[in-house]
Amino acid sequence: MGKSKTVRKKTKPYEIGELDQYLFGQGTHYEIYKKLGAHRVTVGGKEGIYFAVWAPNARRVAVVGDFNGWNFEKNYMERQGEIGIYTCFIPGVKSGDLYKFCIETAQGKRIFKADPFANYAELRPGTASRVTDISHLVWTDEAWMKGRREWDNKKSPLSVYEVHMGSWMRHPDGENEGFYTYRQFAREIVKYVKDMGYTHVELMGIAEHPFDGSWGYQVTGYYAPTSRYGTPEDFAYMINYLHRNRVGVILDWVPAHFPRDAHGLSLFDGTPVFEYADPRKGEHPEWGTKVFDYGKPEVQNFLIANALFWIEHYHADGLRVDAVASMLYLDYGKEEGQWIPNKLGGNQNLEAVAFFKHLNSVVLGRNPGTMMIAEESTAWPKVTGAPEDGGLGFSLKWNMGWMHDFTEYMKLDPLFRKNAHYQMSFSIEYAYSEDYILVLSHDEVVHLKRSMINKMPGKGFDKFANLKVAYAFMMGHPGKKLLFMGQEFAQLREWSEERELDWFLLAEEPHQQIQKFYKDLLHLYKRNKALYELDDEPAGFEWINKDDTFRSIFSFVRHSKEGKKNLLFVCNFTPVERSDYRVGVPRRKQYKLVLNSDEKEYGGAGEERPVVYKAEKKECDGRVYSFAYPLPGYGAAIFEF
């Protein structure tokens, strides 16, 4: 007798087959977004939408929407295998139709959920998903994408403009609630950032979210660009336009938590599907949100495929991963009794650690030249270390320690800065423990923390002079750069998502002048390799004098790899003029003044001074050679040699 054969059902390309289910169950179906969700297909000569959703503990699932009168009895879905994916094909469904999944729980209750894999959503306050087809987006950014594969963030300039689209600039006539569309924003932001000299924009709040006040950090539609600013095609146009103008795009990404909104991921099929079941692991009491279950392969797959979706399908150049610390520590933001230790008795979330290693290995391995950036606020080791060496595998880490010390120092009355001098030099001691990006982000200019200009002591001129020397010091410090919108022209008010930036301030000279100063710093940064190509190596930085405590002056050198164009920084953090100031230098060369904060165009006194200074054999700062420079109060001077 012949052997019996196992007959496998042959699946069509759009169907959820056994291999799809297996890979999803292993957490390695990296393009699962092409199968789950709502996709346009033709079946038996009829065009329609193939719906698929993961609801493992549901009793029954149906699709409801505009096309069936929201009647849950019209289009029940079929369960595929043990993993709990439900599918159905509905002919005649049109692009733009609204839909949800009606899920009957194990207890017989009917709940209505938006599609976790939807590519477009109804504009809030609506909560339905919207049928769309994003399989034919138009891209003309081939040159950028080709160059990206060879790009190395460690050796390249990276100056980021952090932007909240809805409040950067608004229509005066209030059209579309005053929001710029993705297309309008693309054209305006390109003009601005190219003129200013930024290399990248980082966009807050892009994934669909129901509440404006969450700034996009409580997501209900992980696979949908928010409909506040237009369609998915409009969103793709924006990224394409920025790329064609040689501006990179980083998106904020939130794998740490999600809101409890009834239409979202919370208790998706009546049970904890996406979140940990135990509330001591599955809830953030501080934020009132749910925590993803990083131990479930399917949840890992949902998130990793989502990261790839933004980078591969929408051409994003990197993701800034929000709230990494809250994922790494089981007791983050929790009191005793609100959390449970791991199997080793510690407070580390071992499943989240494994998730990060998997995530970063896959995303960066498949997409050379892209970035995964950790917003991580603790001393967790090797955040940017290689996973095979025990690291988490991120490209860059936000330097929150530097940010805290820097802003606290700058808030001080100059009379007391001598007592906190070490706060400004301490960051160099750990500057090479990770690959850092220096950040002055939206978090620092909200919740009564004050805008950057209003952190500065004094009044009027003193505030602006303080902020100029602060920005010069930041630009010279090792690490990539990020500044939140509005702070480049010294916005006075704290940021609010409810209004546009105070652009009217640019009618006033002091705001024009500090914007010009920051712009010139950015262009100096971009054209001088000394400021970026050795960011991750001690050879790129050298203190001249970090111990001038009484005078609150710092001097240091940034070295280029070939030593051809090095930069000497001198920063005076008091209003006291040092007309007899002398600085030690590494060698007997000519030193060319390339940026002086005291120029009239920057709001300074504009006193004439030589451009070139010749070092002489005169000991200073422990150096054989030095030169004299009349250093103004709050003066920042940068010399090239």
Active centre residues (catalytic): 322, 375
Question: Quick one: tokens of 533?
Answer: 């190509």
Whole-angstrom distance, CA of residue 504 vs CA of residue 491: 10
Query: Residue 528 contacts by C-beta under 8 Å, 6 or more apart in sequence?
Result: 558, 560, 565, 567, 640
DSSP secondary structure letters along 548-598: ETTTTEEEEEE--SSSSS-EEEEEE-SS--BTT-EEEESSS-EEEEEEETT
Whole-angstrom distance, CA of residue 316 vs CA of residue 293: 26
Helix (H) or strand (E) holding 519: helix 509-527
CA 338 to chain centre: 29
327 and 256 Cβ atoms separated by less than 8 Å: yes
Q: How many CB atoms lie within 10 A of CB 441?
A: 20
Q: How many CB atoms lie within 10 A of CB 395?
A: 22
DSSP secondary structure letters along 160-174: EEEEEHHHH-B-TT-
Whole-angstrom distance, CA of residue 197 vs CA of residue 187: 16
Question: Quick one: tokens of 380?
Answer: 């967790």
318-321 and 248-253 beta bridge pairing:
parallel
Quickly list H helices, 208-256.
232-244
Beta bridge partners of 319: 251, 372
Q: How many CB atoms lie within 10 A of CB 577?
A: 16
Whole-angstrom distance, CA of residue 146 vs CA of residue 128: 37
Whole-angstrom distance, CA of residue 67 vs CA of residue 626: 79
Residue 623 half-sphere exposure toward CB, CA atoms < 13 A: 21
Quickly list H helices, 1-141.
18-26
**For residue 608, with 0-12 CB atoms within 10 Å meaning exposed, 13-18 middle and 19 or more buried, which class applies?**
exposed
Coil, helix or strand at residue 521: helix
